[in-house]
Amino acid sequence: MRDVLERDHEELDGVLGELLLALDHGDPDESFAQLDLLWARLAVHIRAEHLCLFPAILGAPQAFLPGSGGTPRLEEVQSAIGVLRSDHDFFMHELAKAVNLMRAMEGISDAGVVKETLREVRSIVLSVRTRLSSHNQLEENQVYGWIDVLLDETGRSALDAHVRHELENLPLRFIGVAKNSHN
């Protein structure tokens, strides 16, 4: 099941790359389209982790959390999930700021204003990319691995179905735009 979330990380990286390319080309329409897609897809990914992954891991029976034999201690799990949650808040806050900057630019043809807005948006996107990279490493190298350690087979397959379902819940305007390869 971790491969579903890791594949989603890769696809998010791809959208981020397209967004930076559009910003570098100074293309406001394409930049806005890619930013909107990144914002929606990251929101869906984060919602899947909040609604499915975190409760499943935190709800694992205490017997699974003795802190020995490769299993994490409860405090370790809580602390890592606390870091991930605050990263998620940062991503959503910063991308909302970038979306608002782009919206405020709509209808403005002044080349200087457009250039300055794209520069500001680029700087926000770069800060998101940097923090997202270490965030995804923490998930892929540690937290996603706890699924196999903490959940039994029934728990893992329920989580797998729940995550797949949530990842398919993209807003309607993106259906057909975003390649969905979660199946």
Q: Rule CB under 5 A: which residues touch Fe ion?
A: 49, 139
- In the bound state with Fe ion, the residue whose beta carbon lies nearer, of 24 and 148, is 148
Contacts of 85 (CB under 8 A, 6+ apart): 50, 54
Closer of 23 and 46 to Fe ion (Cβ): 46
* Cα angle value 90/135/172 (rounded, 5°): 65
- In whole angstroms, give the CA distance from residue 90 to residue 88: 5
**Nearer Cβ to Fe ion (68/141):** 141
Q: Which is nearer to Fe ion, 53 or 151 (CB)?
A: 53
Collect all residues with Cβ–Cβ distance below 8 Å to 50 and sequence separation of at least 6.
Answer: 85, 88
Residue 50 C-beta: closest distance to Fe ion, Å: 9
Report in angstroms how near the CB of residue 153 gets to Fe ion at its nearest. Answer: 23
Q: Which residues contact 62 (CB under 8 A, 6 or more apart)?
A: 74
CB of 90 to Fe ion, least distance (A): 11
Residues facing residue 66 across a β-bridge: 73
CA angle 154, 160, 162 (to 5 degrees): 100
- Cβ neighbours around 65 below 10 Å, total: 20
Closest contact distance (angstroms) between CB of 165 and Fe ion is 16
In whole angstroms, the minimum distance from the beta carbon of 47 to Fe ion comes to: 10
Closest CA to 151 of 54, 60, 58, 55: 60
Q: Which CB, 118 or 147, lies closer to Fe ion? A: 147
